[in-house]
Amino acid sequence: MQHTHESINKALEEGLLTKVTKPTRYTGGEYNQVKKDWADIDVSMAFGFPDVYEVGMSHLGLRILYHLINEQPRMVMERVFAPWVDMEKEMRARQLPLFSLESRRPLTDFDVVGFTLQYEMSYTNILNMLDLAGIPLKSIERSDDAPLIMAGGPCAVNPEPLADFVDLVVLGEGEEVLPRILQRIAQFKQAGRWRTCAETRGREELLFALAQIPGVYVPAFYRSEYDEKGLFKGTIPNRSGVPARISKQIVADLDKAYFPTKSLVPFMDVVHDRVMLEVLRGCSRSCRFCQAGSIYRPVRERSMETLKKQADELVKTTGYDEIALTSLSTADYTCVEPLIQSLIATHQEQKVGVSLPSLRVDAFSVNLAKEVQKVRKTGLTFAPEAGTQRLRDVINKGVTEENLMETVESAFANGWTGLKLYFMIGLPTEKEEDLEGIAQLAERVVYRGTGILREKGIKKSVKVTVSTSSFVPKPQTPFQWEPQARIEELEEKQAYLKKRLKDRRINYNWHDAKVSFMEAVLAKGDRRIGDVLYRAWQKGCTFDGWSEYFHFDRWQEAFAESNIDPEYYAYRTIRYDEPLPWDHLDFGVQRQYLVREHKKALEESLTHDCRLDSCSGCGVCPTLGVSLDLRGEKHVPNSDRI
């Protein structure tokens, strides 16, 4: 049966929604939702988030692009999330296609379905969503009646495992590129060249036209080559007229960049349920494992005036009682203290609090936390990342044990009784003493905390949570050439820590090493991984990022059937002169810089933050024609340094 928004609506309201948990995942209707009359639009896009509603709605990028596109008079953007397993079952039983939240239209009604790639382990959900929508999974199987399938977001740094499934990939920040893409599509439709009647054969031509827009990558116009031993040899255009390398696009002036003054207000609890103020973009602390640190460069800040105005408007239009200052590292914002003070002063009366949700509070100043605490208590997380100074130098984590202990002491002195410590295991050059260092550091924090609480006469016992994730080598980082530690090795390290962290005041948790292995394979994979993804999905893999739905055995079967050795991707030391599957995608950071950083890592030598000192020559600013943009008074503009 051909479904329309009426029939989907009927199915939902008459029975379906009573059968599923959390029906508001699918109902839409949130305050500030935009519902447009489809008679008045030229081009439509569904923003697909390949995870469940409450995860997707916490994503700032969705909120920005949603209002940006919907403010364009003849464009519409609606939302779609991965239906939770119970909903999927009900939908399949009724042959109900995947639909958008706003108009409840089947996805096939849209011109574009764009997926954000936030996490490698959500790739199978993309395949599953396409299948639920009745859209052919492979790009090559789609004709003009299927929407264009787009991808973007951080994992687009290496979208090659998805090359068979997506029609186009947007590299970099979408604010400027996305309206241009949709505009071009609208022009094609108006000219009667695509999707206007059943006869059009415009898909390829349209993709070719879109490939002319800087930042747009159409995988089908490129071919990957391998040698007779199966080693990757490079990805090159298979036709003329497309660039050999595609450059990411970024917003040069964040202060002038679009930021919505409205924001959707979900009904159910979502992960980040508050006003999200983006104070800055990028991070140049240069932690050598960190992909975000590479791909969002350079650091660009918003001015205090703009942020205060945005906060005022957003509080008014959402009714939220909390303003979160978000970014990769909010404590680094050059105006963070005056901003927090000003926001608190303005909004205290209405009992609106300010929070710092960013996980890595290294440059944490106790003053900040104290300020924030005036209105609401938030949990504190510190990320020393490694257990010894030597290893912290290898990864360029510029924190010393003294720094950490000082911060921890003032946290306890200021009334916190618990905190979280976040580490990574399996880092390059890691030895047993580095693991031992994690345990000792945790113990020192506990002892110090207990001492301080006792001095203050507080009866409560200290609670320290130690979390370890496993190192995953990621494209565009100085560690992209490094092998990952083997699963067994990682599990031994976890077992060691489990044994060492027996103190009842310490709570230890860790990430599944098998998931980390899969992350490495998908992050560094080439186009051949597409077949594995397809088979894994066929075997029922979805929601792989949710431990209860992660089935490593199915993935192993899929690798075997595709004749792919996953260890080739995860465990191999890559030589500097080997071609990499993401070489044709230019994120601005130069290879020589990454090589230099990698060598420095092995020498345990530090690289400073280019915000605080001179340019460290990563290449982003000259390549992209932008510069560091800081707003604090103490900072001189960086442009004269490059």
Partner 1 sequence: MKSMYRIRIAFSKQDPVRWLSHLDTQKAFERALRRAEIPLAFSEGFNPHPKIAFASALAVGVVSLGEYADIELAEDMAPETVKEKLQQAMPEGFGVQAVKKVPQGTQALMAAVNRAQYRVRVPLAKEIEDGMVKAALAKSLAEEAWLVEREGKKGRSTKDIRGGIYQLTGHIVESHLVLEMVVQTGSEGNVRPEEVLEIVARTGSLPVHIERIRILRLGLFVAKGDRLMTPLEVI
Question: Residue 621 touches which of ligand SF4, partner 1, none (CB < 5 to 8 A by kind)?
Answer: ligand SF4
Q: How many residues bind ligand SF4 (CB under 6 A)?
A: 14
Question: Residue 297 touches which of ligand SF4, partner 1, none (CB < 5 to 8 A by kind)?
Answer: ligand SF4
Report the nearest approach of partner 1 to the CB of residue 381 (Å): 21
Per CB under 6 A, does 610 bind ligand SF4?
yes
Question: Residue 18 touches which of partner 1, ligand SF4, none (CB < 5 to 8 A by kind)?
Answer: partner 1
Question: Residue 320 touches which of partner 1, ligand SF4, none (CB < 5 to 8 A by kind)?
Answer: partner 1
Report the nearest approach of ligand SF4 to the CB of residue 623 (Å): 8
Q: Pattern of binders to ligand SF4 over 262-301, x per CB under 6 A?
A: ----------------------x------------xx---
Question: Residue 616 touches which of partner 1, ligand SF4, none (CB < 5 to 8 A by kind)?
Answer: ligand SF4
Closer CB to ligand SF4, 298 or 437, in the complex: 298
237 beta partners = 222
Closer CB to ligand SF4, 199 or 640, in the complex: 640
Q: What one-character-per-residue DSSP string does 25-52 give?
A: HHH---BT-----GGG-SEEEEEEESS-
Does residue 107 contact residue 113 with C-beta atoms inside 8 Å? Answer: yes
Report the residue from 618, 629, 630, 631 that binds ligand SF4 according to the rule CB under 6 A.
Answer: 618
Closer CB to partner 1, 12 or 466, in the complex: 12
Question: Residue 374 touches which of ligand SF4, partner 1, none (CB < 5 to 8 A by kind)?
Answer: none
- Backbone torsions φ then ψ of 79, nearest 5 degrees: -115, 150
Question: Residue 377 touches which of partner 1, ligand SF4, none (CB < 5 to 8 A by kind)?
Answer: partner 1
- Rg (Cα) of the chain, in Å, rounded? 25
Query: In angstroms, rounded to a whole number, what is the distance separating the alpha carbons of residues 14 and 145?
Result: 29
Question: Residue 23 touches which of partner 1, ligand SF4, none (CB < 5 to 8 A by kind)?
Answer: partner 1
Q: What angle do CA 511, 496, 471 make, to 5 degrees?
A: 40
Q: Enumerate the H helices of 82-144 as residue ranges.
A: 85-94, 123-133
Report the nearest approach of partner 1 to the CB of residue 23 (Å): 4
Question: Residue 24 touches which of partner 1, ligand SF4, none (CB < 5 to 8 A by kind)?
Answer: partner 1
Instruction: Identify the CA nearest to 81 among candidates 605, 543, 491, 546.
Output: 543
Interstrand relation of 246-247 and 585-586 (parallel, antiparallel or unpaired):
parallel
Interstrand relation of 232-237 and 280-281 (parallel, antiparallel or unpaired):
unpaired
Report the nearest approach of ligand SF4 to the CB of residue 598 (Å): 16
Report the residue from 34, 60, 252, 268 that binds partner 1 according to the rule CB under 8 A.
Answer: 268
Query: In angstroms, rounded to a whole number, what is the distance separating the alpha carbons of residues 590 and 24?
Result: 45
Closer CB to partner 1, 277 or 352, in the complex: 352
Report the residue from 267, 496, 552, 571 that binds partner 1 according to the rule CB under 8 A.
Answer: 267
Does residue 277 contact residue 262 with C-beta atoms inside 8 Å? Answer: no
Q: What six digits make up the tokens of 170?
A: 């947007």
Q: For residues 125-184, which are near ligand SF4 according to CB under 6 A? A: none
Report the residue from 4, 95, 238, 350 that binds partner 1 according to the rule CB under 8 A.
Answer: 350
- Backbone torsions φ then ψ of 277, nearest 5 degrees: -100, 125
Report the nearest approach of partner 1 to the CB of residue 45 (Å): 22
Per CB under 8 A, does 458 bind partner 1?
no
Place of tokens 């059009």: 200
Q: How many residues bind partner 1 (CB under 8 A)?
A: 27
First-to-final CA distance of the chain: 61
Per CB under 6 A, does 616 bind ligand SF4?
yes
Closer CB to ligand SF4, 448 or 635, in the complex: 635
Closer CB to partner 1, 31 or 258, in the complex: 31
Q: What angle do CA 229, 231, 235 make, to 5 degrees?
A: 135
Does residue 44 contact residue 107 with C-beta atoms inside 8 Å? Answer: no
Query: In angstroms, rounded to a whole number, what is the distance separating the alpha carbons of residues 168 and 161?
Result: 13
Interstrand relation of 246-247 and 275-278 (parallel, antiparallel or unpaired):
unpaired
Question: Residue 638 touches which of partner 1, ligand SF4, none (CB < 5 to 8 A by kind)?
Answer: ligand SF4
Contacts of 135 (CB under 8 A, 6+ apart): 107, 108, 113, 142, 146, 147, 149
Alpha-carbon torsion 182, 149, 547, 468, what sign?
A: negative
Question: Residue 337 touches which of partner 1, ligand SF4, none (CB < 5 to 8 A by kind)?
Answer: none
Report the SS3 class of residue 234.
strand
Closer CB to ligand SF4, 106 or 298, in the complex: 298
Report the nearest approach of ligand SF4 to the CB of residue 213 (Å): 25
638 beta partners = none
Contacts of 417 (CB under 8 A, 6+ apart): 449, 453, 458, 460, 461, 462, 463
Q: What six digits make up the tokens of 571?
A: 């465990």
Report the residue from 628, 629, 630, 631 that binds ligand SF4 according to the rule CB under 6 A.
Answer: 628
Q: For residues 295-354, which are near ligand SF4 according to CB under 6 A? A: 297-298
User: In this chain, which stretch among 197-205, 322-330, 339-347, 610-618 interacts with ligand SF4, using CB under 6 A?
Assistant: 610-618
Closer CB to ligand SF4, 303 or 616, in the complex: 616
Query: In angstroms, rounded to a whole number, what is the distance separating the alpha carbons of residues 77 and 335?
Result: 34
Q: What six digits make up the tokens of 346?
A: 């303005």
Closer CB to partner 1, 273 or 503, in the complex: 273
Query: In angstroms, rounded to a whole number, what is the distance separating the alpha carbons of residues 347 and 366?
Result: 21
Q: For residues 9-48, which are near partner 1 according to CB under 8 A? A: 13-15, 17-18, 23-24, 27-31, 33
- Backbone torsions φ then ψ of 170, nearest 5 degrees: -100, 125
Instruction: Identify the CA nearest to 325 among candidates 292, 288, 291, 358.
Output: 358
Closer CB to ligand SF4, 410 or 616, in the complex: 616
Query: In angstroms, rounded to a whole number, what is the distance separating the alpha carbons of residues 4 and 373?
Result: 50
Q: For residues 303-332, which are near partner 1 according to CB under 8 A? A: 315-321
- Backbone torsions φ then ψ of 223, nearest 5 degrees: -125, 135
Report the nearest approach of partner 1 to the CB of residue 319 (Å): 3
What's CA 460's distance to the chain center, in Å? 37
Closer CB to partner 1, 198 or 345, in the complex: 345
b/e burial code for range 486-518 (CB count within 10 A of at least 16 → b)? ebeebbebbebbeebbeeebbebebbbbbbbbb
Closer CB to ligand SF4, 76 or 615, in the complex: 615
Question: Residue 610 touches which of partner 1, ligand SF4, none (CB < 5 to 8 A by kind)?
Answer: ligand SF4
Question: Residue 615 touches which of ligand SF4, partner 1, none (CB < 5 to 8 A by kind)?
Answer: ligand SF4
- Backbone torsions φ then ψ of 468, nearest 5 degrees: -120, 135
Query: In angstroms, rounded to a whole number, what is the distance separating the alpha carbons of residues 293 and 290?
Result: 5
Binding region for ligand SF4 (CB under 6 A): 284, 297-298, 610, 615-621, 628, 638, 642
Binding region for partner 1 (CB under 8 A): 13-15, 17-18, 23-24, 27-31, 33, 265, 267-268, 315-321, 350-351, 376-377
